Structure 1
């Protein structure tokens, strides 16, 4: 029986997810999209019609912070698969709604508590993994972090484990956006979530333990396909926290590319206290959250798409041993901002994040990834996922001892 799908969220990533679901509607049953602001969901549906998609989506209003409301909507619509591409603040309430109703759950990022920044590692252990037993007892498939990073990069690590190495010694995830949006300053997704990644301690897993650094403290130049030489900095990120559990013997690091201008503006904002999530009072007695004010004055990430040019390169440099001999592979994807906009009306960052959960949903619908328990992406078969992503527009390439080639 075809699986009914509910997309929760109506931002740039949700737009990509909806377009890819519409392109592959034959894999599913009834299609729905819900958002706190229903008109945003309606705008996405209008963009589908503008592209000529025949698939029928139905929009719904939903406060995804309300577990009871999430569960009620799932029951009302007979939903089998929930794709959560809303704010990371709603992960737990949506997950609980899925566990309560038996619907499969897929998200693209780790849960965040609005009142906390950069909690102690491993971050998945603070929220999602505490629901493992409940998910398995309910027979609910819950796939965590099925975006690009986290998500596809986790599958890259698993592919290296399955097909290249007996023992994985290090995983360096490198995320480079070599595109330009033409604005003075902007973030590629929700500024409130984006800045939280860079205002706390940078955690990496090295020498069998958590290591701490400050943001922009450790940087190095990477020479990558298509985008060339780029400077990236050691950053804290979701996937380090699950990959370190599967590969405790390996060093696991995440590197993100930043230009000098971004670092300068970010540093000024942080130094002035404007990236704080703690409320302050103005001279007039108004209580405001500085981070939310900054978010309000920055461009909407979705508005960047029409003017975005250039490419992204995201991949894993994995080192290990095979038959006692050391080796190295780079498993990666290159995406184009302009091509993404022409296809789905979103920029490349949203594209790389929004396509993978659709691949995950298809694999759940087909039964390949319908594991009836909670799993991070590296715990699931990698090749079916990566091959399907290639069909959906995110092809994987590998640089190994034989050269640069598709998987």
Structure 2
């Protein structure tokens, strides 16, 4: 059954979501996109038109919305007849959009955990601070809410579930490794919203090890990983969304997230942080102006969406899952390789946005056809991963697996 879709947000990820919804609008319904700045939505729709992305004739309409105004979001859902809301706006708006979906009965999809602008790196599990508190409300309203259905979190959660279901009898550890081996040609930039990016790295690094939450400082623990295509890469233990839900499902396994950083990024980050320029707390200038240092840094850095035309290279993101099979030690690596230039040619966005934007559209298709329309709140690892991963294979994010049998395409 076709279902109308409302996209919240107008950044690089939203651009990919828009293109992928258009490419699959024969299985979806009318498409809508809304952001505080309607001109950004208009530009995304124009890019969809320019690339001829609409698979069949249909409508794609832009709207202006303050996504932190629940009443306005609910009214827009009703006005558009949206039955699926794909929230790829700022992580600050999640709970407002989720509430609007609960009120209207629309399915809710997001790609990252909710954040309070005034708080950095809250106590774990992070989902327990916000989203999971509304699980019973979703169930009572019969609302499907699929949390963190980007790539990481999202696809990597499905990889972990698949490894546990099909490849290992017991799991000792899940190590999620995210490597961007691409180059954007700028002196310094972040690959997505600088404010959200830096907030991830200025707080405590939480990992789940030995059956308890462990803490480290950012860049304290590094390790080299031998990755397909991109080669040996240094990555650092980092706090991340998926650790907080996967540890709840697999409490006997160590669950860690590792992200690749070059020395230049680390040096710039360290200077900014030591100077207090990554603080979320307001300060007053000598002229009496109140500013938030982190927002100033965001304002002077390149818009991540502007990186796309010049981006080259590839990403490699996947799960190293270790445990036992038939009584012997075993390991699988389930992963994806994405290409920045290919992503730009197809959608006008760079590879980081592409890997984050394709999965929620695959999830929307599974909600529309009933496969994932579970009428309650769920993290990705709670759902059958195979239909999801099969769709990704068809939609531009092919999955691969490397184990004792070799390195090969993963399909079902």
For normalisation by structure 2, the TM-score amounts to 0.98
Deviation at 1:169, TM superposition (A): 1.1
Alignment of 1:3-402 (within 5 A): 3-54=3-54, 55-402=58-405
Deviation at 1:198, TM superposition (A): 0.2
For residues 86 and 94 of structure 1, the distance between their equivalents in structure 2, rounded to whole angstroms, comes to 10
Deviation at 1:53, TM superposition (A): 3.0
For residues 182 and 403 of structure 2, the distance between their equivalents in structure 1, rounded to whole angstroms, comes to 26
RMSD between aligned residues: 0.6
SS in 2 for 1:79: coil
Deviation at 1:56, TM superposition (A): 2.5
Deviation at 1:387, TM superposition (A): 0.8
Deviation at 1:77, TM superposition (A): 1.2
**1:301-350 Cα deviation digits (max 9, x unpaired):** 00000000000000000011223222100000000000000010000000
For residues 213 and 111 of structure 2, the distance between their equivalents in structure 1, rounded to whole angstroms, comes to 23
**1:202-237 Cα deviation digits (max 9, x unpaired):** 000000000000000000101100000100000000
Deviation at 1:162, TM superposition (A): 1.0
For residues 297 and 77 of structure 1, the distance between their equivalents in structure 2, rounded to whole angstroms, comes to 36
Residues paired across the two proteins, number: 407
For residues 238 and 63 of structure 1, the distance between their equivalents in structure 2, rounded to whole angstroms, comes to 25
SS in 2 for 1:320: strand
| Range that drifts further, 130-139 or 44-53 | 44-53
Deviation at 1:400, TM superposition (A): 1.1
For residues 284 and 359 of structure 1, the distance between their equivalents in structure 2, rounded to whole angstroms, comes to 50
**1:38-67 Cα deviation digits (max 9, x unpaired):** 110000000011102344310111110011
SS in 2 for 1:154: helix
Q: Unmatched 5+ residue regions in structure 2?
A: none
**1:232-265 Cα deviation digits (max 9, x unpaired):** 0000000000000000000000000000000000
Q: Unmatched 5+ residue regions in structure 1?
A: none
SS in 1 for 2:17: helix
For residues 305 and 82 of structure 2, the distance between their equivalents in structure 1, rounded to whole angstroms, comes to 28
> Which runs of 4 or more aligned residues in structure 1 lie more than 3 Å from their structure 2 counterparts after TM superposition?
none
